[in-house]
Structure 1
Amino acid sequence: MATLFSSTAAWPIFSIILLALTSMASQADARAFFVFGDSLVDNGNNNYLITSARADSPPYGIDYPSHRPTGRFSNGLNIPDIISEQMGMEPTLPYLSPLLRGESLLVGANFASAGVGILNDTGIQFLNIIRIGVQLEYFEQYQTRVDGLIGSEQTQALVNQALVLITLGGNDFVNNYYLVPFSARSRQFSLPDFVQYLISEYRKVLRKLYDLGARRVLVTGTGPLGCVPAELAQRSRTGECAVELMRAAGLFNPQLTEMLSNLNNEIGADVFIAANTYEMHMDFVSNPQAYGFITSKIACCGQGPYNGIGLCTPLSNLCPNRDVYAFWDPFHPSERANRIIVQQILTGDNKYMSPMNLSTIVALDSRT
């Protein structure tokens, strides 16, 4: 029987990953990082807005280095933080932060805003949030600001060489299509037609991102929407994942990957990288004990069945050890779960990352 690396064809791939892991920090020195999307990646923009979609009170941030809430919907670090950490980069600041000025601009910026979706009518109940079209306008504004700092040629290079992460789609289901029975969108579209509409609208967003200079874009799919504690509390009697929301994720994610592949073919380069966060989540949702979690059904912080009702507040139930809970609050993974997800983004095979993982991207980009 052949050993793992008996094939000479395996060595170049192995070498590329080794090179990536050893050179990440040096490569990242000159690489900016931009983040777009919703609460899974927002690191505090909503703190500066009059909105109910915010995480600026305890116990949010209980395990963050400062042990204080930062606006991240996490007990500690979120996915962009961990990507920055793993790549040896400084964490990005929220675009609305007054600290984002001067040299700090060259690190990149986080434009994400909790509550937003692909569609403008998603999250309207949260009032003032930075819809994705406005996030892209801010990205243009950012480039004008950097232009004044380092000139247009250098700014274009900074943006072209940057890493970009975008996370959208989940709210279009949980805070729009399925928010209330017989929502406007559910009356307008059957679920398969709604998913097709979402994908077509998302394509326009991503094309605009490309037109604004993004050349390496990680695009996450939705997680298993029906398995989060909030949906178990509302829709599940025995702890099984909510069928309709799982059907939505099952339709959306494969079509997203296909759309990204088509966009890459049209552009003639692997600009858009699909991160299958559905599979990444399902690993520990379906077998939490294998990943050191005691539960993937009950949120660490919350109230009601599965701690899935309402928001995480100072009055909520709070677990003593966040590391053994897959979900921090009714909707969001714990920092430890986020670390498992980022590890797959970095080194996962094509079950998780298509057409390549982040380590391979870094290795390839370091040779150009």
Structure 2
Amino acid sequence: MIMVVSKVALLTILAVALLPWLPNAVDINHMKQLAAQHNVTCILTFGDSSVDPGNNNRLATPMKGNFPPYGKDFFNGRPTGRFTNGRLATDFIAEALGYTKVIPAFLDPNLKPTDLLHGVSFASAASGYDDFTANLSEVLTVSKQLEYFRHYKLHLGKLVGQQKAEYIIRNAIIVLSMGTNDFLQDYYLEPERPKQFTVEQYQNYLASCMFSDIKEMNRLGITRVVVVGVPPLGCMPLVKTLKGESSCVKSYNQVAASFNSKIQEKLAILRTTHGLKTAFVDCYKVIEDAVTRPRQYGLEEVSKGCCGTGAIEYGDTCKGLSTCADASKYAFWDAVHPTEAMYRIVADEAIKSLSETLLA
């Protein structure tokens, strides 16, 4: 088993990391039982900017976040390519499980062989379930991310041997997080997909793409998959600005909620037909709740981002701008992406989902 902490230590870390942030505290005894019963080896992530720690730094794309003020609250205050002020939800999950404080990008030139044991990310900001979405921004499609996963398997096999590599992958937790760009950067901005699909048809198409991607992952040895739902799109500051609304845009939120239901239907089929262990992280619910009841989560500002005016800036347009004094009180870092504080809250929801479904 590739793990350097004891199960007791792992649960101690988990409890300390999560309890202060959850309105409903984690059941420590239950988590101890899970640690005794399951040997999770690492976390591997696929998706978009919500789980990309810097793969886009190595791509010829404008979709980058490797400059200030991004990374303002990261270790040493340095930008890494994460589209937030600090760490992502997957970083917190990995730390809670005792592996590493951050999940590195697979394309990071400084990646060490031992990093492969603790988990890496193949995600690419601006990607989506629809390959056309990724191609719009010249970032990694899911099929390309899976190609890099195959490279990862080869490197891992050389490092620890084929049998151990297969064990690591079989017991890894896979996090899949995307879908936002399919709607906001593709369907609602570009003319091609609306000509081909109604909104509901496009939702079905994306869900089918996800279904096929997970089947391919399973063929490659993966057995445990966590899918993060689409957030309440209408609550993003940029969407509210573009639609001229001061509160969350209901029509966009309805699209997100409907798509999340379709994701869960597909996951239920995968559990039945392929024997996969799956979990769904309802980030829609937790982010909507945080926006509605911010003080319950230690937040104060949920209507705008911390960067610039907080109404329209993200990515390049956030570059070099001044920021709010205390990002820990904000739900959004820029006009699209959550703060580290919000990612902590999402990570807590993910841990709950893992304990209740994937590792039950």
TM range (shorter): 0.7 to 0.9
Q: Read off the aligned partner of 1:213 and give its amino acid letter.
A: G
Offset of residue 332 of structure 1: 0.8
2:271 is equivalent to residue 264 of structure 1? yes
8 Å Cα contact 1:38-1:115 kept in structure 2: yes
The answer for the alignment partner of 2:326 in structure 1 is 321
Q: Read off the aligned partner of 2:328 and give its amino acid letter.
A: D
Q: Distance in 1 between matches of 2:238 and 2:322?
A: 14
The answer for the alignment partner of 2:311 in structure 1 is 307
- Structure 2 residues without counterparts, runs of 5 or longer: 1-25
Offset of residue 363 of structure 1: 6.1
Q: Secondary structure at the match of 2:90?
A: helix
Q: Read off the aligned partner of 1:339 and give its amino acid letter.
A: R
The answer for the alignment partner of 2:348 in structure 1 is 343
Q: Secondary structure at the match of 2:331?
A: coil
Offset of residue 107 of structure 1: 1.6
Q: Distance in 2 between matches of 1:142 and 1:309?
A: 35
Offset of residue 301 of structure 1: 0.7
8 Å Cα contact 1:61-1:75 kept in structure 2: yes
Q: Secondary structure at the match of 1:35?
A: strand
Offset of residue 50 of structure 1: 1.5
2:196 is equivalent to residue 192 of structure 1? no
Q: Distance in 1 between matches of 2:39 and 2:94?
A: 11
Q: Distance in 2 between matches of 1:275 and 1:32?
A: 18
Q: Secondary structure at the match of 2:76?
A: coil
8 Å Cα contact 1:225-1:249 kept in structure 2: yes
Q: Secondary structure at the match of 2:348?
A: helix
Q: Distance in 2 between matches of 1:38 and 1:196?
A: 19
Q: Secondary structure at the match of 2:226?
A: strand
Q: Read off the aligned partner of 1:57 and give its amino acid letter.
A: F
The answer for the alignment partner of 2:93 in structure 1 is 83
Give the greater-gyration-radius structure (CA): 1
TM-score, structure 2 normalization: 0.86
8 Å Cα contact 1:117-1:172 kept in structure 2: yes
2:300 is equivalent to residue 294 of structure 1? yes
Q: CA 1:204–1:362 in 2, change beyond 3 Å: closer, same or farther?
A: closer
2:261 is equivalent to residue 254 of structure 1? yes
Q: Read off the aligned partner of 2:354 and give its amino acid letter.
A: L
Q: CA 1:186–1:55 in 2, change beyond 3 Å: closer, same or farther?
A: same
Offset of residue 362 of structure 1: 8.0
2:153 is equivalent to residue 132 of structure 1? no
Q: Secondary structure at the match of 2:114?
A: helix
Q: How does 1:210-221 map to 2 (within 5 A)?
A: 210-221=218-229
Q: Distance in 2 between matches of 1:245 and 1:126?
A: 22
Q: How does 1:1-368 map to 2 (within 5 A)?
A: 17-22=27-32, 31-90=41-100, 91-127=102-138, 129-180=139-190, 183-237=191-245, 239-269=246-276, 271-303=277-309, 306-311=310-315, 313-347=318-352, 357-360=353-356
Q: Secondary structure at the match of 1:110?
A: coil
8 Å Cα contact 1:302-1:310 kept in structure 2: no
Offset of residue 246 of structure 1: 1.6
Offset of residue 139 of structure 1: 0.6
Q: Deviations over 1:151-207 (max 9, x none)?
A: 211111010011111101111001100124xx2101211111111111111110111
Q: Deviations over 1:55-102 (max 9, x none)?
A: 010010111112010111110111111101111111322111123242
Q: Distance in 2 between matches of 1:283 and 1:191?
A: 25
Q: Read off the aligned partner of 1:107 and give its amino acid letter.
A: H
Q: Deviations over 1:343-366 (max 9, x none)?
A: 12213xxxxxxxxx22356865xx
Q: Read off the aligned partner of 1:267 and give its amino acid letter.
A: H
Q: Identity across aligned pairs (percent)? A: 32
Q: For the aligned residues, what is the CA RMSD?
A: 2.2
TM-score, structure 1 normalization: 0.85
Aligned positions, number: 333
Q: Read off the aligned partner of 2:321 and give its amino acid letter.
A: S
Q: Secondary structure at the match of 1:217?
A: strand
Q: Distance in 1 between matches of 2:251 and 2:356?
A: 36
Q: Distance in 1 between matches of 2:136 and 2:340?
A: 27
Q: Read off the aligned partner of 2:301 and give its amino acid letter.
A: T
Offset of residue 24 of structure 1: 7.7
8 Å Cα contact 1:42-1:113 kept in structure 2: yes
Offset of residue 148 of structure 1: 1.5
8 Å Cα contact 1:25-1:89 kept in structure 2: no
Q: Which moved more, 1:242-251 or 1:334-343?
A: 242-251
Q: Deviations over 1:193-249 (max 9, x none)?
A: 111111111110111111111111110110001110110111123x12223322310
8 Å Cα contact 1:27-1:362 kept in structure 2: no
Q: Secondary structure at the match of 1:346?
A: helix
Q: Secondary structure at the match of 1:138?
A: helix
Q: Secondary structure at the match of 2:266?
A: helix
Q: Secondary structure at the match of 1:47?
A: helix
The answer for the alignment partner of 1:3 in structure 2 is none
